[in-house]
Amino acid sequence: MTAASRRSVQRAFLTAVAIAVLAWIAGGQALLGRIDPALAVPLMVPPMLLLARWQGGEPAADRVRTYLLGLALLAIGQGMLGVWLAGTTAWVQLLVTFVAGSLAALLADWFIQWRPRFKFLPWLAGLALALVWFGASHAGLAIIYRPAAAPANSPAAVMLTGLPLRWSGGEGIAAMIAEGAKDDPALARLTAAGPLSLVDSLVDHVPPPRSTLLLAHPRALAPQELVAIDAFVRGGGRAVVLADALTGWPAPYPLGNPRNPPITSLLTPLLDHWGVTLGTAPREDHAALPVDINGARLRLFSAGRFERLPPQCTIYADRRVARCPIGSGEAWLVGDADLLFEPLWRPVAPGFEHLRQANTIEWLSALLWRDAGQSMLNPIWIRARAI
């Protein structure tokens, strides 16, 4: 290998390392607990400009080989990290990263070879190129990571909850009407994902057959409502039950106000009928707990464990989540209602779906409606620690 070839390999290696480090620190991989190669895309231009500067006097063919070598080393490194940290290679994301990196290298090379009349122009143009690339990349990633909504003909899901997801801001009826409905972000995201009917009682709002019922920490239910829920599930329906033994959801009203969410789950009669017992959360649980459910990332907070479950149930997250067949239907049981609390799942920047901290809303959407919640690219989560 000639001295020039060694220099090219060294430069390509340093560029790949620089992009990987930027993706880990500034791209959000470490912050979000993810190893998505695509998170490196917005930060590619500065290292590529430096590589193009190093290679400025080389023939065009040699420059191209160095760029491609750097991108290949980056892809190999990110692929190996994906297998090690997440158990997947993320081929599609690696391809997106390689194609975007090739475009960034082309722009950087053209920029370095440009010979403007005024010497101050390269500095301004280089800064503009990096900023425009950064913004355009994030906008593009937000689109391809955006979860799909339910098809237009999807049956409406029914939601019954005691959480303050709607009309939570006013102190009286007049104030609430004046302000209008102020939906909690979780409810707003779910209603954007598919048709959702939020009801106060199931006596006259039994979900249609083969649809889905979301019970999100509801208030005490009448016996006829419990019977209706059981009949709906056993008849082939699906229920998603968020039952929190001790909720940490912020109370919008003074202590003791009946409009506050229930402190503990009031679904014990229904769960007992299904052969389920929910225990309290461990005392040491004082932080968000990431758990993986079939490739989705949820962040739980002080979640209870199901101490008793029917033998046919599938158990996840050390008995904090379970999927149980009930008659001809099924029930997804989660020992936590706080997972709907916005700080546990929202993107770190509004509108940037590719920077989300959890798949909570996407996971719920996929359970509530067929073909909802999926996106062209999905987050590659670093495997949660054993619990």
The residue extents of the domains of the chain are: 3-144, 157-368
Asked if pLDDT for residue 384 goes beyond 90, the answer is: no
Cβ atoms 157, 196 nearer than 8 A? yes
Instruction: Select the more confidently predicted residue: 257 or 268.
Output: 268
What residue has token string 């920077």?
A: 355
Within 10 angstroms of residue 370's Cβ, the number of other Cβ atoms is: 14
**What pLDDT shows up at residue 183?**
84
Residues 6+ apart with CB under 8 A from 244: 217, 264, 265, 303, 304, 335, 336, 337, 338
pLDDT in tens, 204-243: 777 887 789 999 999 989 999 999 999 999 999 999 999 9
Cβ atoms 157, 369 nearer than 8 A? yes
Asked if pLDDT for residue 277 goes beyond 70, the answer is: yes
For strands 212-216 and 157-161, give the pairing.
Answer: parallel
Mean pLDDT for the chain? 88
Asked if pLDDT for residue 251 goes beyond 80, the answer is: no
Asked if pLDDT for residue 28 goes beyond 80, the answer is: yes
Answer positive or negative: Cα dihedral of 93, 97, 98, 99: positive
199 φ/ψ angles, rounded to the nearest 5 degrees: -120, 160
For strands 238-242 and 212-216, give the pairing.
Answer: parallel
What value does the mean pLDDT take over residues 357-385?
Answer: 91
Selection from 380, 378, 379, 375 nearest residue 149 by Cα:
375
DSSP H helices, the chain, are 3-25, 29-32, 45-54, 60-86, 91-113, 121-144, 173-179, 185-193, 223-234, 268-273, 360-368
Which CATH code fits 157-368? 3.40.50
**What pLDDT shows up at residue 45?**
95
What value does the mean pLDDT take over residues 165-174?
Answer: 58
> CA torsion, points 99, 33, 384, 142, in degrees to nearest 10?
-60
Strand segments (E) across 223-302 = 238-242, 277-278, 288-293, 296-301
> CA torsion, points 120, 121, 124, 127, in degrees to nearest 10?
-110
Asked if pLDDT for residue 70 goes beyond 90, the answer is: yes
Asked if pLDDT for residue 171 goes beyond 90, the answer is: no
Residues 6+ apart with CB under 8 A from 205: 158, 197, 199
**What pLDDT shows up at residue 246?**
83
What value does the mean pLDDT take over residues 57-67?
Answer: 91
- 364: tokens are 């719920």
In whole angstroms, what is the distance from residue 90 CA to residue 80 CA?
A: 10
**What pLDDT shows up at residue 379?**
94
For strands 196-198 and 212-216, give the pairing.
Answer: unpaired
Cβ atoms 105, 113 nearer than 8 A? no
**What pLDDT shows up at residue 203?**
80
What value does the mean pLDDT take over residues 84-107?
Answer: 94
- 290: tokens are 């990431």
pLDDT interval class at 56 (50, 70, 90): confident
**What pLDDT shows up at residue 32?**
93
Instruction: Select the more confidently predicted residue: 300 or 116.
Output: 300
What value does the mean pLDDT take over residues 3-7?
Answer: 80
Q: Which of 93-102, 124-133, 267-276 has the least mean pLDDT?
A: 124-133
Residues 6+ apart with CB under 8 A from 226: 269, 270, 273
**What pLDDT shows up at residue 261?**
81
**What pLDDT shows up at residue 39?**
96
What value does the mean pLDDT take over residues 357-381?
Answer: 92
Instruction: Select the more confidently predicted residue: 181 or 335.
Output: 335
**What pLDDT shows up at residue 366?**
94
What residue has token string 């029914």?
A: 158
Asked if pLDDT for residue 160 goes beyond 90, the answer is: yes
Residues 6+ apart with CB under 8 A from 126: 49, 111
Q: How many residues does the chain have?
A: 387
pLDDT interval class at 345 (50, 70, 90): very high
What value does the mean pLDDT take over residues 20-43?
Answer: 95
